[in-house]
């Protein structure tokens, strides 16, 4: 029991860390550019499949394979900025929602044509290695996922709050016009935001691959959980995305084991809807006057 | 202008009565599906086109209607002529119950909440095996029949769907021009001003949401009695997005646009069947182009072309 419990908690934390990364990509874009990106899940899938291409199909060692996949995802972010964001910028919310959903369909089916419908099983840098944690056998990859995710979140935090470029990005997020008047190149900050979104979703895709399978349809389920995570945590809050992601990951794993594996996703959405109704600002809140 | 459009609409409706004579088995099934989708999209037009509510739950309400009529007409053996109205009422009641708390949300928060409802509906339908049949769905749903005359074939069913669509369109047009429709549009255009003019904003939103679900319930029930089988996949989130896409392609805020969008989007895969798997890439790209370059839908293209021609002829 207790050994199983520790295993569940660790895998819940690992899955939750991935949701947190995806949620952060979503929040970064929404805060800086005001675009609600419904293609975020498909970006995760592309990140995962790029690591399949570099790591399995090209046969690179995993270090360079991951690096190359992340570089490709950064470029993908720039392409996304130019092709999708520019034309949809400043359109009504619903146009952006449907537009990014349609882009998600395009990406998903392009991935289907490129990589086929048979799932891949990416290998982990740690193989099937198992570590002993408090007497429970824990997969080393799960610990790797948690460590990398939190390292990335830490780096992002430092970048946003400790560097001059981060301050410019925050200025653009707070007031675009005022930032432009202060001499900040708003468009350059937008490009940077999409690059960061590409890196975050790419990392999430690379990390999640060895835990599950690399499947072209993997995007939507991950994005839906990440939505739930940021609503629970607070739509514009970085700590909120982390806490929300981990809560969703734990709820998914523990709920599947102890309540009902069939209704584990329903449980997550029930909690999300309850949060929307009772505490729409999420755990960590957000600026007043945006939601209702 | 309005009168000419009304005449044209009536003419198209009457001409559509002749279609079954020219279309073979598979084509008429697709046409039936298109008209059923049109009913759901006309409903969605109340919530989204008029009241401006971004809802991603329409397929869920279509599913509510389909399952209600399926359960009533198989397990309870009720006549379809009674279970279809029950499906409409049931879907509407569910929408009002979840709409009362949910419709306080706006913009993408409402989109995400309704998305959560649609995903939850599929999860429940997949797992509640005793009532909703799980992934196997519910089969053996009876076809419609008049005394001594079965409406089971696709060609005969076309007239059922045609009548339903005609009535649905007429009702929608009447509602659009009543004080309820005007209040919905007022809420969309300026919620605060509408509230200040002593119009109950929440009540109007719940009415629009409930009305859209009643239409969805009718569409779902007609679908269930046509295919004689319902399963969760037909009501997944993707279909909600397609309904919204139909409305935007046709032109939001327009009843005829809703019908045109439903017909175009339903037939698009048939026209592009040679493309195989590339079809969805083209479809997504086309939709994006329409969103960017024709934000008022394809019907606005007709208006633009018409004005150009008039300007040229002068």
Give the DSSP per-residue string, B14-69.
Answer: HHHTTGGGT--HHHHHHHHHHHHHHHHHHHHIIIIIIT----S-HHHHHHHHHHHH
CATH, domain A2-278, list 2.60.40, 1.10.10, 3.40.50, 1.10.3470: 1.10.3470
Tell me if chain B has a CB within 8 Å of the CB of A147.
Answer: no
For residue B54, give the nearest of A88, A93, A109 by CB distance. A93
Quick one: average pLDDT of A196-204?
A: 94
* Ranges B5-14, B195-204, B253-262: which has the least confidence: B5-14
Quick one: average pLDDT of B178-191?
A: 88
Q: Six-digit token pair at B87?
A: 């499906």
Contact A65, A73 (CB under 8 A): no
Tell me if chain B has a CB within 8 Å of the CB of A228.
Answer: yes
Q: Is residue B206 situated within a structural domain? A: yes
Contact B138, B67 (CB under 8 A): yes
Residue A214 per-residue DSSP state = B
What is the residue whose two structure tokens read 């997944």?
Answer: B236
Q: Is residue B81 situated within a structural domain? A: yes
CA of B149 to nearest chain A CA: how many angstroms apart? 43
Yes or no, beta carbons of A276 and B245 under 8 Å apart: no
Mutate to test the interface with A, among B47, B277, B288 (most CBs of A within 10 A): B288
Yes or no, beta carbons of B281 and A94 under 8 Å apart: no
Contact A292, A280 (CB under 8 A): yes
Residues in chain A within 8 Å Cβ distance of B281:
105-106, 109-110, 113
Q: Is residue B312 situated within a structural domain? A: no
State how far the Cα of B212 lies from the Cα of B171, in Å rounded to an integer.
12
pLDDT for the residue numbered A1: 56
Yes or no, beta carbons of B120 and A109 under 8 Å apart: no
* Ranges A208-217, A255-264, B114-123: which has the least confidence: A255-264
For residue A277, give the nearest of B101, B127, B292 by CB distance. B101
What is the residue whose two structure tokens read 């005001």?
Answer: A34
Residue-number span of the structural domain to which B189 is assigned: 25-237
* Ranges A173-182, A235-244, A271-280, B216-225: which has the least confidence: A271-280
Q: Is the pLDDT of residue B13 over 90?
A: no
pLDDT for the residue numbered A203: 94
Yes or no, beta carbons of B120 and A292 under 8 Å apart: no
Q: Provide the mean pLDDT of chain A.
A: 86
Q: Is the pLDDT of residue B297 over 50?
A: yes
Count of beta carbons in the 10 Å neighbourhood of residue A54: 23
Buried b (16+ CB within 10 A) or exposed e, A85-112: bebbeebebbbbbbbbbbbbbbbbbbbb
Quick one: average pLDDT of B264-280?
A: 81
Yes or no, beta carbons of A99 and B292 under 8 Å apart: yes
Domain count across chain B: 1
Cβ-proximal residues to B54 (8 Å cutoff; 6+ apart), any chain: A93, A94, A97, B48, B107, B108, B110, B111, B114
CA of A113 to nearest chain B CA: how many angstroms apart? 7
Residues in chain A within 8 Å Cβ distance of B245:
98, 102
Name the residue of chain A whose CA is nearest to B135's CA: A262
> B300: pLDDT confidence band, cut at 50, 70 and 90?
confident
ipTM above 0.85, yes or no: no
- Total-model pTM: 0.85
pLDDT for the residue numbered A286: 58
Q: Is residue B117 situated within a structural domain? A: yes
For residue B113, give the nearest of A99, A265, A273 by CB distance. A273
For residue B288, give the nearest of A94, A103, A269 by CB distance. A103
pLDDT digits (tens, 9 = 90+) for A210-239: 888 888 888 888 988 998 898 888 877 888
Quick one: average pLDDT of A68-78?
A: 93
Q: Is residue B215 situated within a structural domain? A: yes
Contact A234, A291 (CB under 8 A): no
CA of A87 to nearest chain B CA: how many angstroms apart? 7
pLDDT digits (tens, 9 = 90+) for A17-63: 999 999 999 988 888 888 888 899 999 999 999 998 888 888 888 88
Contact B230, B28 (CB under 8 A): no
Nearest-CA neighbor of B89 among B207, B226, B228, B210? B210
């Amino acid at each position: 029991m207790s050994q199983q419990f520790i295993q569940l908690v660790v895998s819940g934390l690992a899955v939750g860390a991935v949701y947190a990364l995806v949620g952060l990509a979503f929040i970064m874009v929404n805060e800086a550019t005001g675009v609600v990106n419904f293609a975020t899940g498909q970006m995760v899938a592309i990140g995962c499949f790029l690591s399949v291409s570099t790591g399995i199909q090209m046969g690179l060692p995993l270090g360079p394979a991951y690096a190359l996949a992340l570089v490709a995802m950064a470029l993908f972010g720039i392409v996304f900025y130019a092709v999708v964001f520019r034309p949809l910028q400043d359109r009504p919310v619903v146009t952006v929602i449907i537009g990014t959903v349609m882009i998600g369909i395009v990406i998903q089916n392009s991935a289907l044509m490129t990589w086929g419908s048979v799932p891949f099983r990416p290998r982990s840098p740690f193989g099937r290695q198992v570590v002993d944690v408090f007497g429970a056998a824990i997969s080393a990859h799960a610990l790797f996922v948690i460590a990398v995710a939190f390292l990335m979140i830490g780096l992002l935090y430092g970048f946003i709050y400790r560097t001059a470029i981060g301050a410019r990005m925050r200025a653009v997020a707070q007031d675009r016009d005022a930032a432009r008047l202060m001499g900040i190149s708003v468009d350059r900050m937008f490009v940077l935001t999409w690059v960061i979104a590409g890196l975050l979703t790419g990392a999430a895709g690379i990390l999640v691959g060895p835990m599950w399978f690399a499947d072209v349809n993997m995007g939507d389920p991950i994005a839906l959980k990440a939505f739930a995570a940021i609503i629970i945590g607070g739509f514009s809050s970085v700590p909120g995305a982390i806490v929300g992601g981990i809560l969703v990951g734990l709820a998914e794993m523990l709920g599947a084991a102890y309540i009902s594996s069939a209704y584990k996703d329903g449980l997550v959405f029930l909690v999300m809807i309850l949060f929307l109704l009772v505490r729409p600002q999420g755990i960590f809140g957000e600026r007043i006057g945006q939601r209702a | 202008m309005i009168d000419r459009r009304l005449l044209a609409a009536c003419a198209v409706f009457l001409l559509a009565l002749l279609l079954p004579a020219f279309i073979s088995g598979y084509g008429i099934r697709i046409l039936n599906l298109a008209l059923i989708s049109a009913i759901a999209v006309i409903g969605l037009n109340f919530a989204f086109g008029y009241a401006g509510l971004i809802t991603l739950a329409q397929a869920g309400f279509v599913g509510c209607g389909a399952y209600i009529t399926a359960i009533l007409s198989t397990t309870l053996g009720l006549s379809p002529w009674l279970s279809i109205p029950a499906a409409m009422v049931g879907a509407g009641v569910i929408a009002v119950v979840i709409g009362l708390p949910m419709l306080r949300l706006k913009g993408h928060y409402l989109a995400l909440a309704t998305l959560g409802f649609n995903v939850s509906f599929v999860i429940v339908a997949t797992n509640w095996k005793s009532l909703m049949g799980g992934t196997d769905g519910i089969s053996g749903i009876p076809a419609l029949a008049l005394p001594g005359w079965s409406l089971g074939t696709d060609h005969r069913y076309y007239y059922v769907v045609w009548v339903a669509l005609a009535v649905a369109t007429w009702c929608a047009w009447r509602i659009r021009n009543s004080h309820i429709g005007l209040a919905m549009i007022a809420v969309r255009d300026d919620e605060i001003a509408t509230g200040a003019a002593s119009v109950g904003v929440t009540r109007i939103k719940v009415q629009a949401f409930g009305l859209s679900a009643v239409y969805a319930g009718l569409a779902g029930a007609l679908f269930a009695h046509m295919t004689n089988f319902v399963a969760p996949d037909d009501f997944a989130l993707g279909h909600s997005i397609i309904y919204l896409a139909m409305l935007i392609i046709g032109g939001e805020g327009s009843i005829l646009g809703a019908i045109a969008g439903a017909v175009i989007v339903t037939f698009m895969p048939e026209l592009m069947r040679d493309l195989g798997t590339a079809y969805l890439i083209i479809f997504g790209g086309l939709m994006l182009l329409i969103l960017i370059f024709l934000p008022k839908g394809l019907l606005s293209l007709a208006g633009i072309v018409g004005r150009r021609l008039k300007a040229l002829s002068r």
